[in-house]
Amino acid sequence: MKIFDNPSRDSWSALLQRPQLELEFLEGAVRNVLNRVKKSGDSAVRELTLQFDKVSVEALQVSAAELAEATASLPEDLKKAIQTAAANIEKFHAAQKRESVKIETTPGVTCWRKAVAIDKVGIYIPGGSAPLFSTVLMLGIPAKLAGCREVVLCSPPDKSGKINAAILFAAQLVGVKKIFKAGGAQAIAAMAYGTESIPNVYKIFGPGNQYVTKAKQLVMEEGVAIDMPAGPSEVLVMADESAVPSFVAADLLSQAEHGEDSQVILVLNNDKNVAAIQQAIQQQLNTLPRKAIAEKALLNSRVVILPKKEAVDFVNAYAPEHLIINMNDPESVAAEIVNAGSVFLGNYSPEAIGDYASGTNHTLPTNGHAKAFAGVALESFVKHITYQQLSAEGLRNLGPVVEKMAEAEQLDGHKMAIRVRLDTLK
């Protein structure tokens, strides 16, 4: 990791950059996939699965037999771990439910807002070398709590044509019944447009690589809602002398192993711990099965040394997906953070806990989008409809106000809608 000691604010823009594919190539490649699926449906999904995942899949939907086989094959201790995590996630998200409250804004004028589940939602679950069955819990549980009528799950098959057993077990646990063997941009296209096998949905959730993220952004232009721009994973660790170097190293590597395009940033208030942290990184890196991936991710990563106030400003400018504050009095530092997806406080709050089982959601905005987006929550799976009801008294009280405003905006039809009613009340 390259070290930047007290960099000037003028140089921050370069330090805030994430690794990117060449955008013109990326968009062109993804549009081609979307168009093929829109035109050819299931056959395009199969062809693209063979091209990208190197496996031929005939039946896209996972069968009941495959679900039973997955459940039987999974070790009991892993099942119990998934069930424990699911219980925490459900507890945290269930607490986010809000009752409708009716407000009388003017005598005789009552307004309220009602949460209604999004009817059809799609969940994308990354597979490959790190199948994220935990994401099934993070998305399937709030979808169930919200009451979404139809939940469609897509995940890429492995070389044997199967979806990871833990993904299938987690899907059954949270009540997802429509599961399909499709990954990458072709899965996003299938859920956006619908195919012979895969139903179209109204909103698509889930993280993925830059191809998946770009596909979500492009189908959004065609009217399909998405959760947020969620691309390659990232973490920023703030640390001072109170931080344990091995803890800091482990947190950085836990993100670096996600993928070669992941990014980890370490922000220190001085250089006292730099050598110890770098040594711990190297020691732990040598023990990781995904060492090669983590090493490449570290090439996109950096150490930034700044005084505390400037460090907070740098973090808010970076707007990390995950922020670990491993410092004395982390609560006071956290109070100054305004841009972050999820925050972890102190030596004993590793980001991995939030990835799996604390209860918070790990589907979070990346690439600086935490400046304007929040992570997935229960409300992500609902839409709010507003209502208003006026009595005759209410129209008498508020109608003249609207007439005056409509007249000033030269919208006489609006004024007439009030006047014809008021005239009947004279």
Active site residue 321: yes
Is residue 255 part of an annotated ligand binding site?
yes
Print burial letters for 396-424: b (CB count within 10 Å at least 16), e (below 16): bebbeeebeebeeeeeeeebeebbeeeee
Triad 262, 247, 267: Cα angle to 5°: 60
Is residue 43 part of an annotated ligand binding site?
no
| Terminal alpha carbon distance of the chain | 78
Which of 93, 322, 362, 369 does the annotation list as catalytic? 322
Is residue 369 part of an annotated ligand binding site?
no
Q: Whole-angstrom Cα distance, residue 259 to residue 70?
A: 26
Q: Are 326 and 238 in contact (CB under 8 A)?
A: yes
The first and second tokens of residue 282, run together, are 């190297």
Active site residue 384: no
Is residue 258 part of an annotated ligand binding site?
yes
> Among candidates 94, 32, 114, 107, which has minimal Cα distance to 396?
107
Q: Which residues pair with 236 in a beta bridge?
A: 265, 323
Residue found by looking up tokens 């399937």 in the block: 140
Please name the residues in contact with 38: beta carbons below 8 A apart, sequence gap of 6 or more.
189, 193
User: Judging by DSSP bridges, how do beta strands 103-106 and 150-155 pair with one another?
Assistant: unpaired
Q: Whole-angstrom Cα distance, residue 50 to residue 155?
A: 14
**What order do you get walking across the sheet with 109-117 strand by strand?**
103-106, 109-117, 382-390
The first and second tokens of residue 34, run together, are 């979307």
Is residue 362 part of an annotated ligand binding site?
no
Q: Whole-angstrom Cα distance, residue 53 to residue 317?
A: 37
Q: Are 333 and 33 in contact (CB under 8 A)?
A: no
Which of 310, 321, 351, 403 does the annotation list as catalytic? 321
Is residue 282 part of an annotated ligand binding site?
no
Residue found by looking up tokens 């170097």 in the block: 245
Residue found by looking up tokens 């979500």 in the block: 216
Q: Whole-angstrom Cα distance, residue 247 to residue 350?
A: 8
Catalytic machinery residues:
321-322
- Residue numbers in the known binding site for substrate are 233, 255, 258, 322, 355, 409, 414
- Residue numbers in the known binding site for Zn(2+) are 255, 258, 355, 414
- Residue numbers in the known binding site are 124, 186, 209, 233, 255, 258, 322, 355, 409, 414
- Residue numbers in the known binding site for NAD(+) are 124, 186, 209
